[in-house]
């Protein structure tokens, strides 16, 4: 059940809530329909999570709190939150020369909102994606590399490919460029979260021993 809920939350935020938020500022067509769009994705996301976790785990998933002190948790959470808008802005700036004309021409109902609106939205998305990913990190019992690969691929598909394949009203070059951009920033974001919240096996073992010795 814990794994199912964790995956369901990740899918709902990345597919439903994220699409609603991005569409509300970058699209004239989707503006004002955010709640409807998000709720439309809720049941399919929960169903997909149930299918993905059905019968695959013979034991109860345990939440594993990484051996971090309170200050270590504080700076890690802050870094993870701010990493999202920074990554978004860096990769977005790289593709801006190739996509700006599409937005300025209003193709497919696209538009460019004020800079402060974009920044504010990405700060909010940073919180949401951290909420979506942290349960996965706490339940993770494999290597850091496997976490980065799995989470990066999940976001590359849920945020990018899954959405853009359906966006047939958008020009193909725009969809390809955004798919590549989202895949790149998804793996970059997953890598940062992996290094922040998934201790290397050796370091985790040593820190656990140190904490046990203090107790």
The predicted pLDDT at position 67 comes to 77
The predicted pLDDT at position 55 comes to 62
139, two tokens: 């339940």
Q: Where are the domains of the chain?
A: 68-214
The predicted pLDDT at position 206 comes to 44
65-117: per-residue pLDDT in tens?
677 899 999 999 999 999 999 999 999 999 999 999 999 999 989 999 999 99
The predicted pLDDT at position 43 comes to 82
The whole-angstrom separation of Cα 200 and Cα 206 is 10
154-185: per-residue pLDDT in tens?
999 999 998 898 888 899 999 999 999 999 99
Q: Which residue has the higher pLDDT, 92 or 211?
A: 92
The whole-angstrom separation of Cα 88 and Cα 189 is 9
The predicted pLDDT at position 38 comes to 77
153, two tokens: 């691929």
The whole-angstrom separation of Cα 182 and Cα 160 is 6
The predicted pLDDT at position 33 comes to 66
The predicted pLDDT at position 44 comes to 80
The predicted pLDDT at position 99 comes to 95
The predicted pLDDT at position 202 comes to 45
24-73: per-residue pLDDT in tens?
899 887 766 666 677 777 888 878 888 877 765 444 556 666 778 999 99
118-146: per-residue pLDDT in tens?
999 999 999 999 999 999 999 998 899 99
Is the pLDDT at 207 greater than 60? The verdict is no
The predicted pLDDT at position 134 comes to 94
The model's pTM is 0.85
């Amino acid at each position: 059940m814990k794994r199912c809920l964790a995956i369901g939350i990740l899918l709902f935020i990345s597919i439903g809530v994220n699409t609603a938020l991005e569409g509300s500022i970058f699209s004239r067509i989707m503006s004002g329909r955010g709640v409807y769009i998000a709720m439309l994705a809720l049941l399919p996301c929960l169903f997909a999570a149930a299918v993905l976790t059905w019968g695959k785990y013979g034991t109860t998933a345990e939440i594993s709190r990484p051996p971090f002190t309170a200050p270590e948790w504080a700076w890690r959470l802050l870094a993870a939150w701010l990493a999202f808008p920074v990554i978004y802005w860096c990769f977005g700036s790289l593709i801006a020369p190739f996509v700006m004309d599409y937005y300025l021409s209003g193709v497919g109902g696209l538009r460019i909102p004020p800079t402060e609106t974009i920044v504010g939205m990405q700060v909010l998305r940073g919180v949401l994606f951290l909420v979506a990913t942290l349960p996965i990190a706490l339940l993770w019992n494999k290597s850091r590399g496997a976490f980065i690969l799995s989470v990066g691929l999940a976001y590359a598909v849920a945020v990018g490919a899954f959405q853009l394949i359906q966006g047939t009203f958008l020009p193909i070059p725009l969809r390809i460029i955004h798919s590549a951009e989202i895949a790149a920033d998804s793996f970059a974001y997953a890598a940062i979260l992996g290094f922040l919240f998934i201790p290397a096996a050796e370091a985790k073992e040593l820190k656990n021993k140190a904490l046990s010795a203090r107790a």
